Amino acid sequence: MSQDDLSAEWIPVLSDAPGPRYLAFVQSLERDIASGALKPGTRLLPQRDMAIQLGLSVGTISKAYAEAISRGLISGEVGRGTFVERRRPAISAEGVSTTVNLALNVPPYTGEDVLIAAVLQDILRDEALKPLLGYLPHQGLLNHRDSMVAWFAQLGVITDVDHLFITHGGQHALSIALGMVAAPQDIVLTERFTYSGMIALSAQNGYRLHGVDCDAHGLLPDALDRAFTATKARALFVTPTLQTPTGTTMPEERRREVADVVRRHDGYLLEDDAYAFLLARPMQPISLLLPERSFYVSSFAKCLAPGLRIAAMIVPDQFRDRANNAIRATGWMASPLMAEVVSRLIHSGELARQVQLKRAEAASRNAIVDEVLGNWLPAASETPGFHRWLPIPAGRTMIALIAQAAQAGITLAPPGALQQVDRGTLGVRICLGHPKTHDELRRALIELRRILESAEEMSFV
């Protein structure tokens, strides 16, 4: 019997974790390659034979092989079969992939591309495409808005179709909202460390950001009160749930206190609630406590896919006409085709299923972070998210940490510091969603821990 015949006996052990079976196959393949149990050059069973062995459909195995090929794990040779790649992905001397990105805050993969592809096929089969290709209402189609109103109600966000506007992503919504309540050179209050998109928006339009002190529960109401008084600002941008970059979640009492401060100063609130879907128990948005002065923004980027570029914005009654005109002026409308995809996934229940998968994956990845870097991180939010905050330890500068991580093949990015702060509060955001596998994430975090430990040892010399 040839070596190829012997090597064709590999059968994966599939995890019972929730998620598509073809991904479980790929994860098993990755584990066995990483452990050395599956050698480069090993020939895999033909797809039909593998499907029979595992009791899965040929279509599922076909997807698994295609995904493994796209990840560089296997390759096909015409007339011979499918083999484990002989060339392994580029690995540093320390065993860390040279392409591990912990700077890009994307949701972990849970098979969303397969769902979206299926919905697009349904749209074509239903002959529903043509009506979506014209110039349609700036605010979004009524049935799309109705679906999103129902979706947000499940998250504890109550609104109606008249006040909900579909936008070209969350950044588009924030740009529109801020443009209606602030002018160039106006001061806009934010958390001390804030979303990089807000920093970019301010640089583009000339807003001046002013960071407000926070603690483990988010914005400090007293500090916010003082900031409104000192700056005469009219607008506050805040992310109360899994704040980026720090990962804090604001409890309900704090949300009420922040709402009281905004109302007392006759200000306007821009609330970014992109991570609300990760909460097992919905929390009332600050916006609902002062709806006449709030713009609520949430997107389908983190719970589904960033490339859809679909978000929703809830606006106060007095700004509805201006919001409609602002969407017209900045793009006429968000893509009706992509809004149709989201609407169908809401109705089918598949979006809710994706949320469950994203929550489970966030929990798994946070467990790895706690295991590897627990001694270096502040206590995490009770709700696992897609990013964690790493304070810069004594004896280490942010620039040095980022540079040393880059040399080890790990991409880190600092948050935008809005004002001079003491070294103890500086830090970097560690994003957990981009690494393709848990093993890749773990290897990168172990290397990051080694870098931190080497700095600690040097501080005692």
379-394 pLDDT, tens digit each: 877 899 999 999 887 7
Q: In this predicted structure, what is the pLDDT of residue 70?
A: 65
The pLDDT-based confidence of 8 (bands split at 50, 70, 90) is: low
Considering the segment(s) 100-106+357-459 as one domain, its CATH architecture is Alpha-Beta Complex (3.90)
CA 107-249-284 angle, 5° bins: 100
CA 151-168-316 angle, 5° bins: 65
pLDDT for residue 77 is more than 80: no
Cβ contact 198:190 at 8 Å: yes
Q: In this predicted structure, what is the pLDDT of residue 175?
A: 96
- Sketch the domain layout of the chain as residue ranges: 3-84, 100-106+357-459, 114-348
Q: In this predicted structure, what is the pLDDT of residue 90?
A: 45
Which stretch of 275-289, 303-317, 444-458 has the lowest confidence by average pLDDT?
Answer: 444-458
Q: Name the pTM for this structure.
A: 0.77
Average pLDDT on 349-360 reads 95
Average pLDDT on 430-443 reads 94
Nearest one of 238, 255, 113 to 177, comparing CA atoms: 238
The predicted-structure confidence for 158-195, as pLDDT tens digits, reads as follows 999 999 999 999 999 999 999 999 999 999 999 998 98
CB count within 10 Å of CB 401 equals 22
Sign of CA dihedral 272, 276, 277, 278: positive
The one-letter amino acid at 430: I
Please provide residue 11's backbone torsions phi and psi, each rounded to the nearest 5 degrees. -125, 125
Provide the CATH topology of domain 3-84: Arc Repressor Mutant, subunit A (1.10.10)
Which stretch of 25-29, 131-135, 331-335 has the lowest confidence by average pLDDT?
Answer: 25-29
Q: In this predicted structure, what is the pLDDT of residue 28?
A: 87
Considering the segment(s) 114-348 as one domain, its CATH architecture is 3-Layer(aba) Sandwich (3.40)
pLDDT for residue 142 is more than 90: yes
